[in-house]
Structure 1
Amino acid sequence: MNLRNPPPWQVLPVILLVLGLSIWAGESWLRPMLDPGAGDRVVLAVAEDCELNRAGCTVALDGMRLMLRGPDTIPPLEDFDLILEAQGPVEPLEVSYVMPGMDMGVNRFAFGAGDEGIWRAPSALPVCMSGRLDWLAQVRFAYEGREYEVRIPVLLSRPARGTQD
Structure 2
Amino acid sequence: MKNIFNNKTWARKSVLILALLLGASLFAYKMGLFKGWQQAKVDQVIHISCPDLQQGCQFKINEQSYQIKSAAPVSTDQPVTLTLTGPAKSVYLNWQMVDMDMGSNRYKMQDIGKDQWQAETALPICSQKRQDWLLSLQLEQVEVRIQTTSHGKS
Which of the five TM-score ranges fits, normalised by the shorter chain?
0.5 to 0.7
Is contact 2:79–2:122 with CA below 8 Å preserved after alignment? yes
RMSD across aligned positions (CA) = 2.4
Pick closer, same or farther for the CA change 1:125–1:64 going to 2, 3 Å.
Answer: same
Q: Which runs of 5+ in 1 are unaligned?
A: 1-34, 161-165
Counterparts of residues 108-147 of structure 1 (less than 5 Å): 108-142=106-140, 147=141
The percent of aligned pairs where both chains have the same amino acid is 25
What is the alpha-carbon distance in structure 2 between the residues aligned to residue 65 and residue 90 of structure 1? 11
Task: Give secondary structure in 1 for the equivalent of 2:89.
Answer: strand
Partner of 1:18: none
1:97 matched to 2:88: no
What is the alpha-carbon distance in structure 2 between the residues aligned to residue 51 and residue 66 of structure 1? 17
The Cα of 1:127 is off from its aligned counterpart by 2.2
The Cα of 1:115 is off from its aligned counterpart by 2.9
Deviations 1:68-109 (A, max 9, x none): 1113412215212111001xx422320011111111111211
What is the alpha-carbon distance in structure 2 between the residues aligned to residue 62 and residue 41 of structure 1? 12
The normalised TM-score by structure 1 is: 0.62
The normalised TM-score by structure 2 is: 0.66
What is the alpha-carbon distance in structure 1 between the residues aligned to residue 125 and residue 54 of structure 2? 20
Q: Which runs of 5+ in 2 are unaligned?
A: 1-37
Q: How many residues align?
A: 117
Deviations 1:16-40 (A, max 9, x none): xxxxxxxxxxxxxxxxxxx97x943
Partner of 1:157: 151
1:41 matched to 2:43: yes
What is the alpha-carbon distance in structure 2 between the residues aligned to residue 152 and residue 40 of structure 1? 16
The one-letter code of the counterpart of 1:116 is K
The one-letter code of the counterpart of 2:139 is F
Partner of 2:29: none
